[in-house]
Structure 1
Amino acid sequence: MGADTGSGLLADIELEAILQFGSREMTLREVLQHACGDVVELDRHESQPVDLVVGNRIVARGQVVVSNGNFALRVTEVAAPQLRLESVACRS
């Protein structure tokens, strides 16, 4: 079985894709103290690209845009094909 055939078998599998803007560690006490309208600062500067994460791996990076009234990602960088394939590999 060639590499193309193996990749083809995976093409129709649905995966959860997450846009990761940044992160921040907080205690449960800090989380519970938040109210509507509070702002939580992240560890990423606004000019840095956001990450498209699939299977706990970054597969692409880009800019957040609005498309037809919805948030979207304009991809500016894509991970190498082998890294993207590894991110969807089955784990035992």
Structure 2
Amino acid sequence: MTDNTPAASDADDWASALAEQTAASAPVSEPTVAPAAAQVFQQIQDTPAASAATTPVDIARVLDVPVQLTAEIGRTRITIKNLLQLSQGSVVELDGLAGQPLDVLINGYLIAQGEVVVVNEKYGIRLTDIVTPSERMQKLARA
């Protein structure tokens, strides 16, 4: 006679999961590598650093990775007292000047500068200057 109580079925599920894990972690004579992983690591190991710039990169692997894009017009520092005094219609002065390009950041890193545009009654950014990787490195070194 079997016990069909929820606690008994949970115990059976845990027991079968533990058995599967134990069987999967049994020592193997040769290390096994998934075919896709082996192909990726083989490509990386076989590619010399000098020819890495000329070989095509499979960028499709990262095309669906979400990133956060931020357009920064300017910044300011205010005290908590002044923050609490803000209300609808208050104006907060920023360090950016009118007409100055705004910074476009991806995950907090400056990648471009641009200007604000309005398209179909929605704000947008027209990129005017893309920051090269070498320029980014120089800015990081100065900071």
TM range (shorter): 0.7 to 0.9
Give the alignment's TM-score, normalised by structure 2. Answer: 0.52
Structure having greater relative contact order (Cα 8 Å, sep ≥ 6):
1
1:29 aligns with 2:81: yes
- Sequence identity (%): 28
Task: Give CA deviations for 1:14-65 in whole Å, capped at 9, x if unaligned.
Answer: 1111110000001111100011101001001012100111111111111001
Q: Which runs of 5+ in 2 are unaligned?
A: 1-43, 45-51, 138-143
Note the C-alpha offset of 1:9: 2.4
Tell me the C-alpha RMSD between the 2 structures. 1.9
Residue range with higher mean Cα deviation, 70-79 or 9-18: 9-18
TM-score by length of 1: 0.79
Aligned residues: 82
Instruction: Report the structure, 1 or 2, having the larger strand content.
Output: 1
Structure showing greater radius of gyration is 2
The answer as to 2:92 corresponding to 1:40 is yes
Q: Which has the larger share of helix?
A: 2
Q: Which of 51, 56, 59 is 2:108 aligned to?
A: 56
Q: CA deviation at 1:12?
A: 1.9
